[in-house]
Amino acid sequence: MSASPAPRPHTAVIGLGAMGLPMARRLAAHLPLSVYDIAPARRALLASAGGTDAASPAEAARDADVVLLAVRDQSQVDGALFGENGAAETLRPGSTVILTSTVGPEAARATAERLAENGILTVDAPVSGGPVRAGDGDLLIVVGAEDKALDLARPVLDLLASTLTIVGPRPGDGQALKAINQLLAGVHIAAAAEAIALARGLGLAPGTVVESLRHGAAGSFMFGDRGPRMVETYESDVAPEVKSRLDIFVKDMGIVTGIAKDAHVPVPLASAAQQLYLLGERAGLAAHDDSSVVTVLSPKSTPAQNGEDR
């Protein structure tokens, strides 16, 4: 007897930003897909890749079994689901919402409770890995969800994740682990910025420093990934491509320090990194790539202490 074909749930992706766009492109190659974003040009990109362009979240979700949210913060989650023409208006009882945004445990639980009032299930599934890995299905996804919701979402998650970790049975459990991920990522970026700023102050060429140290004991994923972009900031008159906005880490480090305070756990390194991102935001870098935070510590126009970088 032949095996049953893999399920192909009709999926809606709401939010086609840095992560949502490559995730949607990958899903469009395997599943019936509808998409919504406030930018028509982004929707058009998915229409050419096989997705259906919807005029609102409600329209995108009308025939969906699964809705994947890839928006920036909780206010956008609320708008996409519960605002005017929000997805919750048309989602059927028994359908599932996958929350990939980093919003914090309490916000995820509140969203799940609100959806449950209409019989809609929630999979708390924040993602990590960046746009390239999103397009390749190579993301780390950490999940908090009951079994029924996870079973419905699994065909979508399996297309996007190379590492899928089930943290616990409740929405909010995935967010808790993602906050720890963001603590480490945010501190590592801040540490990379300090190292490159010090290198400039000592008259060392930042490119040489990054290439020398990225493969050794002092290296980290963030140093190897953001370090070259920090070097590019100084070597080019054009700002690096925005792969992760600086204000994302303003938000995420705020989540980290907030839940740490509630848990009465001191996080001095995360708190210091949070202040650095806030300084970057105040300096007008909110919409820039997060690697630009290095210029808060070593302004681009300031020569190195011993003359020009060598």
For strand 139-144 and strand 127-128, is the pairing parallel, antiparallel, or unpaired? antiparallel
Note whether 127 and 193 are same-domain residues.
Answer: no
Residue 47's pLDDT is 86
Task: List residues bridging with 121 in a β-sheet.
Answer: 96
Residue 204's pLDDT is 96
- Whether 310 is covered by a domain: the verdict is no
Q: Per-residue confidence at 4, pLDDT binned at 50, 70, 90?
A: low
Closest CA to 273 of 219, 192, 175, 178: 192
Catalytic residue among 178, 243, 251, 300: 178
Domain that holds residue 62: 11-171
Helices (DSSP H) in the chain: which residue ranges? Answer: 20-28, 40-48, 57-61, 74-82, 105-116, 131-136, 147-160, 173-201, 206-213, 221-235, 246-262, 268-282, 294-297
- Residue 132 in tokens: 């390239």
Does residue 50 or residue 90 have the better pLDDT?
90
Note whether 146 and 194 are same-domain residues.
Answer: no
d(CA 48, CA 95) in angstroms, rounded, equals 27
Cα 246-107-293 angle, rounded to 5 deg:
10
Specify the residue for token string 């930018």. Answer: 39
Mean pLDDT of 241-269: 96
For residue range 162-188, list pLDDT tens digits in order.
999 999 999 999 999 999 999 999 999
Residue 306 above 50 pLDDT? no
Residue 222 above 60 pLDDT? yes
Note whether 180 and 67 are same-domain residues.
Answer: no
Note whether 189 and 158 are same-domain residues.
Answer: no
**261 assigned to active site:** no
- Whether 58 is covered by a domain: the verdict is yes
